[in-house]
Amino acid sequence: MAAGTDTKLLVRAEAKFVRMSARKARVVLEHVRGRTVPEARTILVFTQRAAAREIEKVLGSAVANAESAHGLDGDELVIEAAYADEGPTLKRWRARARGRANRIRKRSCHITVVLTPAAPERLERPKKSKASETAAAPDSSAAPDSSSAQPKVARRSRKQTKEAVA
């Protein structure tokens, strides 16, 4: 093996000829790229775009590939890359007024998700120490500093503003 080669394990899944434009799929993929699989699944479940359902299927397939082929735990994987390439476009015609026609483009895309095992420090939640908790919480018994407090600005009603201008 050469000294400069990377031996990082990558597992991928691809959905081809998905009937949606790549641009719509990329909007959702930006939200999950770089996240752990449980985080990404949560985001996709609560995303209301149609692309989220298709991406969720591809993510599930990639996790299944990792578990069956490499014996990895699905919850300990990170989305290394997620992208949508353009697929073939079906061209259709729609009749318009005065004998004309408009082209309808029915686009498709290929959605790819690449997973990799997460670094151990990424999976662990940072633990708060007692010193950081006491330093972060201000003493509630002390009086607030009047110099740092923002003065409240009185809001005028529309009637008062008209009277002030007139």
CA atoms of 96 and 28, how far apart (whole Å):
34
CA atoms of 134 and 85, how far apart (whole Å):
50
- Measured CA angle at 109 (ends 67, 24), to 5 deg: 100
Judging by beta carbons within 10 Å of its beta carbon (0-12, 13-18, 19+), is residue 26 exposed, middle or buried? middle
Predicted TM-score (pTM) of this structure: 0.69
Name the band, by pLDDT with cuts 50, 70 and 90, for residue 109: very high
Average pLDDT (121-129) is 61
CA atoms of 10 and 30, how far apart (whole Å):
19
- Measured CA angle at 57 (ends 106, 86), to 5 deg: 30
Name the band, by pLDDT with cuts 50, 70 and 90, for residue 158: low
pLDDT tens sequence across 76-97: 999 999 999 999 999 999 999 9
Which positions ≥6 away from 31 have C-beta within 8 Å? 43, 47
Domains of the chain in sequence order: 11-123 (3.90.470.10)
